[in-house]
A and B are shown apart, each in its own frame.
Chain A
Amino acid sequence: MKEYPWYEIVEGDEALMQGDFIKDCPVVIPPSEISDNIDVKIINYDVVIMSQSCDLVQGKLDLVLVCPIWPLSEFEKRSDFFKSKKGKEALRRGNVPGYHLLNKCEIKGFETEYLVVDFRSVYSVPFDFLLELAQKRGRRIRLLPPYREHLSQAFARFFMRVGLPVDIPPFK
């Protein structure tokens, strides 16, 4: 049977692509008032690149979209829903719009457990900064097709939702 691996490992200096994992990526949160000297909050996440690879390769982006990724166990600790079998199964089936489940990575030295991508926390990071950071972080995990496109589609499905102010009542 042909194998369809979920991940590969790429060198730090390889071009950034959608589905690349960047460890410990800082995001700067500015204060509401900007003066000459300000205190900024910096939060770090392990992230996956959500911007399209073609836009990244062709240098059409100044800012790269990234979403935080979490081990599923972290979600289980914080949510009874995800702790339950029903919740995890709903996540696996793609029935929890804000989140996307990725498989375990079993590549030696890069092992992970099941991972959850959080679509509600989307950040944009300057392209040049991310490129430099990726080089500094060294070899990284890359999500492979068709799982990469599946992730992108799940993000699109989440983003394109429309909440109706007045919905049609359910049929009974």
Chain B
Amino acid sequence: MYQLITIQEVTDQDYPIQYLSSPSTSIIEEMDIRDFLINILSNLIRQNIKRPSYLSLISMLEADLSSIWPRFEVKSETALFEETLVEKFMENMLEFDIVVRMPPLREWSARVKVKSVEKAKPHIVEPEGF
């Protein structure tokens, strides 16, 4: 029997978690994954980080964390999952055609004496090396 120290029992964040005996490799891997997830969650709670929208997709997944390569499977209908996925990502791709009419900083009028009115001539800029 080995003594397990998890992150909940460690008050100092920098304190490395040690295993006092030598459990099997698979158990260590499982503990590492669990500790890693606990660490992320506790950090999120501590920093009061808002969940990005795509995280809501996680609730639709069934996670098997027993291996070092966690396996995720869709809990509900695949079509629904895909629909939600597309919806979430479309939110980030949408363009907003918004118009805000801003008044100028300053507006004033002036009386102008017109000197001449003439038809404009083209100003031709020839390409270089022609």
Contact = CB atoms under 8 A, between A and B. Distances in A.
A147 interface: no
Interface string A2-39: 00000000000000000000001001000000111111
A131 B29 CA distance: 68
B54 to A, nearest CB: 15
B109 interface: yes
Given A60-B125, A79-B98, A118-B102, A43 B117 contact: no
11 contacts: A34-B114, A35-B114, A39-B109, A39-B110, A41-B108, A44-B106, A60-B125, A74-B102, A81-B98, A90-B94, A96-B96
A75 B95 contact: no
Nearest to A63: B123
A40 interface: yes
Interface string B100-123: 111011111111111001000001
Interface of A: 24, 27, 34-46, 60, 62, 68, 70, 74-75, 78-79, 81-82, 87, 90, 93, 95-99, 118, 120-121
A79 to B, nearest CB: 5
A68 B125 CA distance: 27
B105 A45 contact: yes
Contacts of A35: 114
Interface of B: 92-102, 104-114, 117, 123, 125
A87 B96 contact: yes
A68 B104 CA distance: 9
B102 A78 contact: yes
Nearest to A44: B106
B117 A34 contact: yes
A98 B107 contact: no
B112 A39 contact: yes
Nearest to A60: B125
Contact of A36 (B94, B102, B114): B114
A39 B110 CA distance: 6
A78 to B, nearest CB: 5
A36 B112 CA distance: 8
